[in-house]
Structure 1
Amino acid sequence: MTTSNLVLLSSVDVAQFHHTPFYCEENVYFLCKKLCANGTADAEGSDLFVVFISNEKKQVPLWHQKASQRADGVVLWDYHVICVQRKKESSSPHLVWDLDSSLPFPSPLASYVSETIRPSFQLFSEFQRFFRIVHAPIFLRSFASDRRHMKDSVGNWIAQPPASEAIVAEDGTVHNLNEYIEISTADVVKNVGVDLLNAAFTQKFGVLLSDSQLEEFFSLNS
């Protein structure tokens, strides 16, 4: 990242966005809607992508997270969800909107990857991160959650849910969060190319990448 890129970025007040701890998927849903509504993103969200971060064992380490009790901000999430805004101008960095991060909001993708994902950090295989990238317009139409994953075996809330109504998909589906966070290494793409970008624009559950492919994906030209 160059100094000129830093100059182009201005911090946004994170407090203006809907945020309920431990409901990152709903937080990002409303964040995308707000970015579209206030003109920060395209009105249809065509420049936004929702990114689910998880793995088969539901153990993914991410740094600089507000929920951490450690100085380095590391948290071992079962899954996490962020929004990436893909900029077409070469002079503007792609941006990461992570409501749970202590980094600048938003952050350039390159610095977010370096500081939060730390791909150069040697991890045991069970902690390897995978990224399900879903085009925001598809996500906003298709995503649904009745919050069942946040209840214990007797029906009590593990964490207090948002005050808003549960999100229902346009087709009437009431819950499909599990399909977004389900990760199989067999589904990870082998090659990053324009065909992959086209797939991300059309597939309900997007495309699945490894951490070494994330920046390459967003560098593709459609």
Structure 2
Amino acid sequence: MIPLWNQKASKRADGIVLWDYHVICIQKQKDANSSPKVWDLDSTLPFPSPLASYLRETIRPSFKLFSEFDRFFRIVHVPIFLRCFASDRRHMKDSAGNWTSQPPSCQPIVAEDGTVHNLNEYMEISAAEALRNVEAGTVDAVFSEKFGVVVSESQLEEFFSLIP
């Protein structure tokens, strides 16, 4: 569980929510002078938001957390994610097999290789997976690895600054 601020699902004035996972899109502009943009469908911030302001307002790295709330990010290149991700929506059912929320009307997502569910492999992140250093070679891995790379919150902005 990680805290994120300025979230529509919040019932609090500061917009804080504890998510078990949260998916956003960070778009790196082709124009080298443009900052990366964050597309967060659950955010109350401008849509899209510049990465630096999104981090400051949503991640709030200055807010000191207990170590169990350290935030890590799995970064997966969109074309790889679209080919490899799969969800049969089992995470939306309770232990008796009943829906906890109404599922989307579209068909479940099946990966190109026929995998029907690998959401947990994308969601489960440990500190041990995080890159020790962000450098060009580690950034290149995001373009080839099925599960991308994992960075800490302090590495996120640096990571996107190194993407060509």
TM bin (shorter chain): over 0.9
Q: 1:195 aligns with which of 122, 132, 137?
A: 137
Q: Are residue 113 (structure 1) and residue 78 (structure 2) matched?
A: no
Q: Are residue 125 (structure 1) and residue 67 (structure 2) matched?
A: yes
Secondary structure in 2 matching 1:149: helix
Q: Are residue 93 (structure 1) and residue 35 (structure 2) matched?
A: yes
Deviations 1:148-185 (A, max 9, x none): 01110101111111111000011111000010001121
Aligned to 1:174: 116
Alpha-carbon distance in 2 for matches of 1:103, 1:89 = 23
Q: State the 1:197 CA deviation.
A: 1.2
Structure 2: which 5+ residue stretches go unaligned? none
Q: State the 1:91 CA deviation.
A: 2.5
Question: How much is the aligned-residue C-alpha RMSD, in angstroms?
Answer: 0.8
Counting aligned pairs with the same residue, the percent is 71
1:124-163 to 2 correspondences below 5 Å: 124-163=66-105
Q: Are residue 63 (structure 1) and residue 5 (structure 2) matched?
A: yes
Alpha-carbon distance in 2 for matches of 1:120, 1:90 = 28
Structure 1: which 5+ residue stretches go unaligned? 1-58
Alpha-carbon distance in 2 for matches of 1:135, 1:187 = 17
Alpha-carbon distance in 1 for matches of 2:137, 2:54 = 26
Q: Please identify which structure carries the higher helix content.
A: 1
Aligned to 1:44: none
Structure 2 vs 1, CA of residues 153 and 93 (structure 1 numbering), >3 Å: closer, same or farther?
same
Alpha-carbon distance in 1 for matches of 2:108, 2:51 = 30
Alpha-carbon distance in 2 for matches of 1:103, 1:124 = 26
TM-score by length of 2: 0.97
Alpha-carbon distance in 2 for matches of 1:114, 1:207 = 22
Q: Are residue 220 (structure 1) and residue 154 (structure 2) matched?
A: no
Alpha-carbon distance in 2 for matches of 1:163, 1:65 = 24
Amino acid at match of 2:83: R
Alpha-carbon distance in 2 for matches of 1:155, 1:187 = 32
How many positions carry a matched residue from both structures? 164
Deviations 1:96-120 (A, max 9, x none): 0000000011100010000000011
Q: Are residue 79 (structure 1) and residue 21 (structure 2) matched?
A: yes
Alpha-carbon distance in 2 for matches of 1:221, 1:143 = 22
